[in-house]
Amino acid sequence: MGWLSLAIETRCDLAESLADALMDAGALSASIEDADAGTEAETPQFGEPGSVTTPGWERSRVIALLASDANAAAILGEAAAAIGLAEIPAWTTDLVEEQDWVRLTQAQFEPIRVSERLWIVPSWHEAPDPEAIVLVLDPGMAFGTGSHPTTRLCLEWLEREVRPGDSLLDYGCGSGILAIAAARLGATSVSGIDIDPQALIAARDNAEANHVTATFIEAAEPLTTPAGYDIVVANILANPLRALAPALVGHVRPGGHLALSGILSEQADELIACYAPWISLGVADTRDGWVCLAGRRAD
C-alpha cells in the first residue's frame, strides 16, 4: 500500500509552523531537515547546550508523510493558508513503499567489537565470539548503544580499570551500558544516575536483559554507596561536567578513580584545570576528536 512523502523547501522561521500546520491538515507525520544536507553548505545543529545560537536551517526542508490516496496539494494549501502564506510553496512528492520496517531497522545495527573480549550485541543477533563478554543492547530512546566514540572510550577504559569487587557509579547513565559493562567485568556494587525517566527505564530493562544487578535512580534520590565509589564514570558533555565537578569528585572514595568522557579534544585542558583542585586528570585515550580523561583521587 505505502505512503506519500511530501517535501517542501522553506525558510527557517517558517519550517516549524508549517510542519505543525501540515499535521493539523491531515499529515501522518512531519519532520524538518537541512535542505543543504550532504553539500558544503550543510549546517550542523548538534553540540552542547548553548552552542547553537539559531536553531534550524536557513534553507529548511519540511517532510510530511501522507496516506497514499491523500490530496497533497489540498493538504499543503490548507497548511499554507493556516500560517498566512500568500502563495503555496514549491513542493514535490515521492511514493514510500511499504516495507518490513522492523527488519529494515534491525539490519542497520550489527554487533560491535569494543575490544579483544568485549562485544555489544543486539538481542536479535548471535554473539560472534562465544568466549567474549557480551553486552546485549538494543537501540532505543536512551543514549549509549556503543557506536559513539565517547561510549567506546569509556568501555575501553572500564575494561582496563575495573577489578572484581569494585563499586561503580555511572553518572548520566543513559541506556546503562557503562554500568552493565562494569558489572560484567566484575564490579559488584553498581549504580547509575540520570535525570531522564525514560533513560532509567531503559537502563533497568537492559540490566535485566544482561542478567546483572545494578541500581538506577534519579539524581535527587540517595545513593546506595554514600561513602563513595571505587570508580565514578560520567559520559556527558563538557558544560555539565564543569558544573558537576564538585559533586562528581565527591562521589569518588579516597584512592578511587574518576573517568570523564563526552569531551572534545580542544576542551580537555579546560576540564583538567577545572578538576585540578580535587583530582589530577590526564588524557586516558582519544578517538575521532573526543577524549576520555581519567585520574585517581588522593588517599
Annotated binding site for S-adenosyl-L-methionine: 151, 172, 194, 235
Residue with cell 518490513: 100
Apex CA 57: angle with CA 53 and CA 67, to 5°?
A: 135
Binding-site positions read 151, 172, 194, 235
**C-beta of residue 168 within 8 angstroms of C-beta of residue 162:** yes
**Residue 184 CB-half CA count within 13 A:** 24
What would the DSSP string read from start to end of 27-70? -SEEEEEETTTTSTT-----SSTTS-SS-S-SEEEEEEEEETT-
E-assigned strand segments in 39-161: 59-67, 91-96, 112-113, 118-121, 133-136
